Amino acid sequence: MFDERVENLIGKLIGGTLDAAEKRELAEWVRRNPDDERFARALENAWERFEPEQPMPEVVSERILANIFPVADTTPEEEDEPDVSGGITWLWPKLVAAALVIGLGVYWWAGYRGNRDVAQQEKAAKVQLADIPPGGNKAILTLGDGSNITLDSAGNGLLASQGGTSVTQSGKGQLVYQSGQGAESAPVFNTVSTPRGGQFHIVLPDGTGVWLNAASSLRFPTAFTGKQRNVEITGEVYFEVEHNRQMPFVVKNGPTEITVLGTHFNVMAYDDEKIMRTTLLEGAVKVTRGAREALLTPGQQARISTGTGSMRVVDDVDTEKELSWKNGYFQFEDESLESIMRQVSRWYDVEIRYEGNSRGENFTGRLPRNSNVSGVMKILALSGVKFRIEDKTIIVTP
C-alpha cells in the first residue's frame, strides 16, 4: 500500500502539484529506499496512472538529463545566498537514474497540470529560435603602448616583445608570458579583456595560471618586481598562483584586495551582481575590504555586498558549482531566473528583457556551455519559462 502512496506522490511530482509536506514525505521514502529499480518501477507506474495513453516522452539527451528542475518553497534572504534546507533538489539525480533504468526520459514543465491534450502540450513545449552559438576562446590584448591584438584571430606564435618579456599565443588557446634576463625594472602593464561571449587562459610571467570568464579583464605587469605581485581584475577570474613566499600575489577589484602566497581560488565580481564572491579551493587567502578582513581556508567563500561593503564568510561551499564556468558548464542551485539569465547574457552575448511578472521561480540544474542558446532556453521552457527571441534579445514573458 505504501508503494501505491509513493506512486501517487511521484504522479504529483510529474504533474507539478506536489506540496511541501508531500515533498518531504517523498524525499524520506527515497532516503530509506536506495534501490533504483524499485524507484524506477514506482516511477513507471506513476506515469501510467498520470497519462495512461501517452508514453513518457523520450528526452534522454545530455541537455535534458542535465537536470533543470524548478525548486519551490524556498525564499532566499537575498539573491545568490539561497537557503535550500527545506527542499529536495537532490532527488532529481535519483529520478534521472530511475528513468535510465526503465529506458525512458523524464521531463517537468510547470504548465503540464490541467489540460493534457498531447497536441497542445507539444505545441506549448516547442520553441522556435534563431539559434545563437555559444561563446569561445576570444579576447583582446592591450599592450603597454596602447595597441590592441585580437587573440582569437592572431594565430599561434610570438605576438609581441616588451623589454625582456615575450608574449606568445600557444596552440592550446592560451596566452603565455615569459620573462628573460633583460626584463625591465619598471615593467609595462598589459590588459587582457574578454568580451561577452568570450573566455581565455593566460600564463603570467611567474607561471601563475589565470582563466577569464566572459566580460572580464586582467591587468598585470609584463614582469613582476618589488615586494608583491599585483594584478587587477573585473568580472570573473580563476587563479592557480605559483608559490612565492617572498613575493605575495595580490588581486585587486576596486576597494577589495585578495592576498595569497600560492593557492587556487575563484573571484566573481561582475558589476551587475549584488554579491562579490571569493571562493578558495586550495591554500589560504586573505580578503580585505576597507577595515573588514577575512582569512579563508579551503571550501570557504567570502561574500561582499557590492552595495554596503559588508562581508561574511560561508563554510562548505560547493566549489564545483563555483568553477562550473571554467569546466565547461552552467550549474545552478536554487537560483533565480534573473541570475541564470545574466549568465546566459554574458556567455551568448545577448540582451535580456522581461515583460510583466515573469521572474517567479528558482531553478537547480546543470547544462553544458558548449550548446547553442536554443539548448539552454528549450530546457528552461520545459520548466515553464516562456520567452521569445528578437534579433539578439531574449524576451522573457509571463
Quick one: average pLDDT of 189-203? Answer: 95
3-class secondary structure, 179:
strand
Helices (H), the chain: 2-15, 20-32, 36-50, 91-101, 118-125, 319-322, 337-348, 373-382
Place of cell 532516503: 31
Residue 135 — pLDDT band, cuts 50, 70, 90?
very high
DSSP-derived 3-state class of residue 39: helix
- State the angle between helix axes of 337-348 and 373-382 in degrees (0 to 180), rounded to the nearest 10: 160
Which tens digit of pLDDT belongs to each residue from 199-218?
999 999 899 999 999 999 99
| Coil vs helix vs strand at 70 | strand
pLDDT digits (tens, 9 = 90+) for 262-299: 899 999 999 999 999 999 999 999 999 999 999 999 99
CA-CA-CA-CA torsion for 321, 325, 331, 333, nearest 10 degrees? 50
Q: Are 223 and 241 in contact (CB under 8 A)?
A: no
Spatial distance between the Cα atoms of 174 and 43, rounded to a whole number of angstroms: 47
| Residue 142 scores a pLDDT above 90 | yes
249 vs 229: CA distance, rounded Å: 5
Query: What confidence tens digit (pLDDT) does each residue in 352-380 have?
Result: 999 887 666 788 778 889 888 887 887 77
The answer to whether the CB of 250 falls within 8 A of the CB of 231 is: yes
For the segment(s) 136-322, the CATH number from 2.60.120.1440, 1.10.240.10, 1.20.58.220, 3.40.50.720 is 2.60.120.1440
Query: Where in the chain are the domains?
Result: 1-132+343-398, 136-322
Is residue 152 helix, strand or coil? Answer: coil
Give CA–CA dist 320/217, Å, rounded. 22
- Average pLDDT, stretch 309-315? 96
Residue found under cell 489540460: 115
DSSP state, 222? Answer: S
Q: Are 260 and 295 a contacting pair, CB within 8 Å?
A: no
**How many other C-beta atoms can be found within 10 angstroms of the C-beta atom of residue 283?**
17
Question: Rounded to whole angstroms, how far apart are CA atoms 237 and 200?
Answer: 10
